[in-house]
Amino acid sequence: MERPKRPPTLSEVIFKTSAMTLVIAFVVFSYGITVFGWALPVPMARLSASLGAHSAAAMYFEREYQRNPTPKNLYNTLDRYIMAQNNRKVVEFSEKFFELPETDQTEIINSINEHWEIEADGHKHNHVSWANESSRIKSAYVVALIRTDRTDDALTQLDDWLKETHNPRHPNHAFIKAHLELETPAARDLLENYTYEFGKVAVQPYNIFAIDFLFVAHGLLGNSGDAHYFLVAFNAHKL
């Protein structure tokens, strides 16, 4: 004879109903997020960025770039992959950025620098840290190359940049980053050569970006006298 089944208690009914409701809500929410992300990736990217979810923001910006490959969308994608420290993607999108016409690169970089100069609000350390976007991109690219086992490519790129005409407003900290990453004679030589070449264009009166770079570079190279000179100059400089 089959034993009769015990009817569920009220607590069991409530628990099962709540669990099913949560599962259904999660599925609907996930589906909605997916659809919304495909339909409107930029708002999703901005929302993700505001929450500090840089990887997700980069993914959504990349999706927007794929459907509308403008220089601005390319930069937004690269910027977020740098924030997310996704080295493979940083290499990929840095190279795309460097392939842009120089006028497009300059327009984007100048716009970003102007924004961060305002945000720095006269604070010298923030000013030099935030408002040199060209150096930020180049530094991230070189570090990403090194961390994806392309050190030779990183050194070759630095050597190519060494041959360019240097801008005292945009010192290239990629040479410093490579030296700190590798600590090899080759990386040190490149930093030393760039510091010398940059020092020839960064003539007095030095701007704050040149002072900051030369202080750090000479300090890493062991040139204590020069490092002290630029430290004093940095502290005395008025923006």
User: Using one digit for the tens of pLDDT, what is the confidence trace for 199-220?
Assistant: 999 988 899 999 999 999 999 9
Higher pLDDT, 14 or 235: 235
Q: What's the pTM?
A: 0.83
Per-residue model confidence (pLDDT) at position 65: 94
Question: In 3-state terms, what secondary structure has residue 210?
Answer: helix
Are 212 and 180 in contact, with CB atoms under 8 Å apart?
no
Contacts of 155 (CB under 8 A, 6+ apart): 178, 186, 187, 190
Q: Is 42 exposed, middle or buried (0-12, 13-18, 19+ CB in 10 A)?
A: middle
The residue to which tokens 């409530």 are assigned? 14
Cα–chain center distance at 88 = 13
Give the start-to-end residue ranges of the domains of the chain. 142-239
For residue 203, give the DSSP letter.
Answer: P
Cα distance from N-terminal residue to C-terminal residue, the chain: 93
| 96-104 contact pairs (CB < 8 A, 24+) | 97/137, 98/141, 100/71, 100/74, 104/71
Structure tokens at 47: 């929302």
Per-residue model confidence (pLDDT) at position 9: 56
pLDDT at 84 over 50: yes
CA distance 157 to 187: 12
pLDDT, average across residues 47-64: 86
Are 130 and 166 in contact, with CB atoms under 8 Å apart?
no
CA distance 214 to 201: 12
pLDDT range class, residue 35, cuts 50, 70, 90 = very low
Cis peptide before 205 (omega within 30 of 0): yes
Per-residue model confidence (pLDDT) at position 1: 44
pLDDT at 154 over 90: yes
Question: In 3-state terms, what secondary structure has residue 115?
Answer: helix
